[in-house]
């Protein structure tokens, strides 16, 4: 499965089978995390036993307490940390999908229930639940191409393909508070309309756009 294919089939999954992730997949996840940490100056950490990371009432109600493992997203506390976590974290999410695993971005979790490391100058942003889903999740309502784009002139096909992939990106509360602009100089810029976790969302959307467009922006 390619990343483009993973974008098409990946959905947020909140209920998991009580099965430990296979050792060979854990090894591949850890290798990918090492690669992404180096590329994004991050400190993403795979925690095999999620414990009671999702033990509060809201997460219990939606089933996330069943997630066997968790990826804690930590990094150097710079102005672009949230966006870096979104960009490289989504690369990891899509990689997990290619391995047959399911995931869910989670804005909060019980930090005292999970063993992980935060070095001086680092900050915890959020976490990603990971494991074998009870199902594969479901499609969600999405905005249209016209609602999330501003185009100067005529947009090329690669831009449209990028937007198509971006519209499949997971965002906080599925609000899709982003705008993708095709500028007169044929460059692309992404903006957020503000709100909780929208900088993380911006990184996720950028990741999807670049995969769909086959072009870095």
- pLDDT tens digits, residue range 170-217? 999 899 999 999 999 999 999 998 877 899 999 999 999 999 999 999
Q: What pLDDT does 118 receive? A: 97
Stretch(es) of the chain classified as CATH 3.40.109.10: 3-131
Label residue 19 exposed, middle or buried (CB < 10 Å: 0-12, 13-18, 19+).
Answer: exposed
Q: What pLDDT does 94 receive? A: 98
Separation between Cα atoms, residue 172 and residue 60, nearest integer Å? 19
Label residue 201 exposed, middle or buried (CB < 10 Å: 0-12, 13-18, 19+).
Answer: buried
Other Cβ atoms closer than 10 A to 125? 22
54, 109 Cβ separation under 8 angstroms: yes
Query: Tell me, what DSSP letter sits at residue 21?
Result: P
162, 209 Cβ separation under 8 angstroms: yes
Stretch(es) of the chain classified as CATH 3.40.109.30: 149-213
Q: What pLDDT does 202 receive? A: 96
Q: What pLDDT does 195 receive? A: 76
Separation between Cα atoms, residue 69 and residue 51, nearest integer Å? 8
Q: Which CATH architecture has domain 149-213?
A: 3-Layer(aba) Sandwich (3.40)
Separation between Cα atoms, residue 201 and residue 197, nearest integer Å? 6
Fold of 3-131: NADH Oxidase (3.40.109)
Separation between Cα atoms, residue 188 and residue 159, nearest integer Å? 8
Q: List the chain residues with pLDDT less than 70.
A: none
Find the angle CA(178)-CA(189)-CA(77) to the nearest 5 degrees.
75
Name the pairing type of β-strands 149-151 and 178-182: parallel
Q: What pLDDT does 193 receive? A: 81
Q: What pLDDT does 55 receive? A: 85
pTM for this prediction: 0.95
Separation between Cα atoms, residue 128 and residue 199, nearest integer Å? 16
């Amino acid at each position: 499965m390619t990343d483009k294919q993973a974008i098409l089939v990946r959905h947020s999954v909140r209920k998991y089978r009580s099965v430990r992730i296979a050792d060979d997949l854990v090894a591949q996840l850890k290798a990918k995390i090492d690669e992404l940490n180096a590329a994004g100056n991050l400190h993403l950490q795979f925690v095999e036993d999620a414990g009671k990371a999702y033990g509060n009432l809201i997460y219990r109600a939606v089933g996330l307490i069943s997630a066997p493992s968790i990826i804690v997203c930590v990094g150097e506390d710079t102005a672009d940390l949230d966006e870096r976590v979104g960009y490289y974290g989504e690369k990891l999410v899509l990689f997990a999908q290619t391995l047959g695993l399911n995931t869910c971005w989670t804005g909060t979790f019980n930090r005292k229930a999970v063993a992980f490391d935060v070095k001086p100058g680092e900050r915890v942003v959020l976490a990603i639940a990971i494991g074998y889903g009870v199902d594969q999740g479901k499609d969600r309502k999405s905005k249209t191409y016209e609602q999330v784009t501003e185009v100067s002139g005529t947009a090329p096909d690669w831009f449209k393909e990028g937007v198509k992939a971006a519209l499949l990106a997971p965002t906080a509360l599925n609000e899709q508070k982003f705008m993708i602009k095709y500028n007169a100089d044929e460059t692309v810029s992404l903006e957020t309309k503000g709100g909780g976790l929208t900088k993380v969302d911006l990184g996720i959307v950028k990741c999807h756009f670049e995969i769909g467009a086959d072009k870095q922006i």
